[in-house]
Chains A and B, each alone.
Chain A
Amino acid sequence: AQSVTQLGSHVSVSEGALVLLRCNYSSSVPPYLFWYVQYPNQGLQLLLKYTTGATLVKGINGFEAEFKKSETSFHLTKPSAHMSDAAEYFCAVRSSGTYKYIFGTGTRLKVLA
């Protein structure tokens, strides 16, 4: 069975500091992994995804994530936080050969001036 765990429902960082949002997954087959961002009163928008190939994936707005199979992790990072990064971030997994997406519970990122 697939599952996703996002550690930390709330994360606060200072503007200019490193952003690290954690995601661990469970899947019995090779997974497809996604990070989505949700701004207030909006739908979700894809930041980046891992399907196959290079394990370091670059996304929009300066975000990137690394697929680490040995650690079953797909943590999201950004070197320098910007005020506009304040939003809720969701990690999602979909195992190859299945059609269900499983989303994590979300991490709300707060950026402090």
Chain B
Amino acid sequence: DSGVTQTPKHLITATGQRVTLRCSPRSGDLSVYWYQQSLDQGLQFLIQYYNGEERAKGNILERFSAQQFPDLHSELNLSSLELGDSALYFCASSVTGDSGNEQFFGPGTRLTVL
């Protein structure tokens, strides 16, 4: 158990809908990362937050947004969902956002768009 929690575990929805994925980092970790893992794209870095501020952006679509709240939990919002958004979404956390920090991964949320 990494100490990172993600809810829900599974999510099934329809095209065009909007969903919110939630992540609680390990106690004491200030940085949160979001990743998308799909069969065809592999593990893609989406976005990183550090202590409530966006720090780095990866391959995140404009239909997706995220935020980190004062209590350090984070939410990833996916809107106008398409079939291709079906994937495993991982959240990870680290103590700070520094380059050498280890990331601790949550168990993931499996999103299925029908």
* Residues of A participating in the B interface, judged by any CB pair closer than 8 Å: 32, 34, 36, 41-46, 49, 51-52, 90, 94-106
Contact = CB atoms under 8 A, between A and B. Distances in A.
Given A45-B2, A102-B45, A103-B43, A96 B99 contact: yes
Given A42-B108, A43-B90, A45-B2, 5 more contacts: A44-B105, A46-B103, A96-B99, A101-B33, A103-B44
A51 B2 CA distance: 21
A106 B97 CA distance: 24
A43 B43 contact: no
B100 A103 contact: no
B55 interface: yes
Interface residues of B, number: 24
Nearest to B105: A43
Interface of B: 2, 4, 33, 35, 42-45, 48, 55-56, 58, 90, 92, 97, 99-100, 102-108
B82 to A, nearest CB: 22
Contacts of B55: 99
A42 B107 contact: yes
Nearest to B41: A105
A43 B42 contact: no
